[in-house]
Amino acid sequence: MLNIGCHLSASAGFLAMGRQITELGGNTFAFFTRNPRGGKARPVDEADIKAYTDFAQKHAFAKIVAHSPYTLNPCSPDKHTREFAHMVFEDDMKRMELIPGNYYNFHPGSHVGQGEEQGISLICEMLNKYLNEAQTTTVLLETMSGKGSEIGSSFEQLRLIMDNTSFPDKLGICLDTCHVYDAGYDIVNDLDGVLEQFDKIIGITNLKALHVNDSKNPYQSHKDRHEKIGKGFLGIKTFENLINHPKLKNLPFILETPNDLDGYAAEIALLKRLYKET
């Protein structure tokens, strides 16, 4: 079965998201743990979480992939921005344990002129402070397009982050198809080659989820503008290859395409049609 879903609004709670994605034809989803601009998370509603957990079990949900706010930048040169990142990350780690065993995805950050080495060191400082042996959540580093001073646009950088943390087994990677193509990994013409490279540098078992987005921009553009599936430079064939690749086909695929809910339902149906069960 294809594990597919899209980004949903968290405002009505977990059970509402579970019901919504079922109606859209999916069995996993993503949501922002709080407003993308940061700020307060919704109060914890234990009854909602319990109802969601039962619902997800009954409907054979795959792991869900929470997304940190975009403003979380643990390697900012600005002290207040770093403190904010620590505060959000610490709180999000606690909240994620209320829905045990799922994924928490974040953008590693932008070093804004401090250089890659300092950036990676600050990212690891945050991870080392808040990851712990007992947690059931796997924290996913998202592959980035390399716009501005973003860290995480090369497999080597992601490897360095994992190598410099105390709990590498609590970490994994979320591969964003738009971002890696923009960053210069040619998943259109050489998906096998890219995955081999990933395996050599990071280890394919560390790949836990994918963001499936087409790209408005060509190869190596470092732009990060998502496009609807099949309408951009990746093209429909690339997505057919991705969802059916033996190394990928059992992972959760999350759509972050520019769509309303009807558009998401159509893309979910399209990818399910292209999926080969065996």
User: What's the min distance (Å) between Cβ of 6 and Zn ion?
Assistant: 14
Which residues share a beta bridge with 139? 104, 171
- Output the smallest distance, CB 263 to Zn ion, in A: 17
What the block records as the tokens of 8 is 């949903």
Single-letter amino acid, residue 150: E
Q: Toward Fe ion, which CB reaches closer, 24 or 144?
A: 144
Separation between Cα atoms, residue 100 and residue 259, nearest integer Å: 29
How does DSSP classify residue 43? P
253-263 burial by CB neighbour count: b if 16+ within 10 A, else e? bbbbbebeeeb
Beta strands in 9-147 (DSSP E): 28-32, 65-67, 103-106, 109-110, 138-142
Q: Answer with the entry of Zn ion, Fe ion, none that 92 interacts with (C-beta below 5 to 8 A by kind).
A: none
- Choose the one of Zn ion, Fe ion, none that binds residue 216, judging by a C-beta under 5 to 8 angstroms depending on kind: none
| Chain contacts with Zn ion (rule: CB under 5 A) | 224
Burial of 192 (0-12, 13-18, 19+ CB in 10 A): exposed
**Residue 230 — left, alpha, or beta (φ > 0 → left; ψ -120 to 50 → alpha)?**
left
Q: Which does 214 bind (CB under 5 to 8 A by kind): Fe ion, Zn ion, none?
A: none
* CB 108, min distance to Zn ion, A: 13
Q: Compare residues 150 and 176 and give the one whose CB is closer to Fe ion.
A: 176
d(CA 193, CA 142): 20
> Which of Fe ion, Zn ion, none does residue 224 bind to, with CB < 5 to 8 Å depending on kind?
Zn ion
* Residue with the CB atom nearest Zn ion in the bound state: 224
The listed partner (Zn ion, Fe ion, none) that binds 211, CB under 5 to 8 Å by sort, is Fe ion
By C-alpha distance, which of 64, 65, 106 is closest to 85? 106
Q: Which does 182 bind (CB under 5 to 8 A by kind): Zn ion, Fe ion, none?
A: none
Task: Tell the smallest beta-carbon distance from residue 175 to Fe ion (Å).
Answer: 9
* Residue 92 or 182 with smaller CB distance to Zn ion: 182
When the beta carbons of 76 and 105 are compared against Zn ion, the nearer one is 105
Report, in Å, the least distance between residue 82 CB and Fe ion. 19
Comparison of 165 and 257: residue with beta carbon closer to Zn ion: 257
Q: Which three-class secondary structure state does DSSP give residue 30?
A: strand
Residue 95 vs 211, nearer CB to Fe ion? 211
Distance CA 31, CA 189 (A): 31
Q: Name the site residues for Fe ion (rule: CB under 5 A).
A: 142, 176, 211
Give least dist CB 109 to Fe ion, A: 12
Paired with 254 in beta bridges are 5, 211
CB of 30 to Fe ion, least distance (A): 9
Q: 92 or 224, CB closer to Zn ion?
A: 224
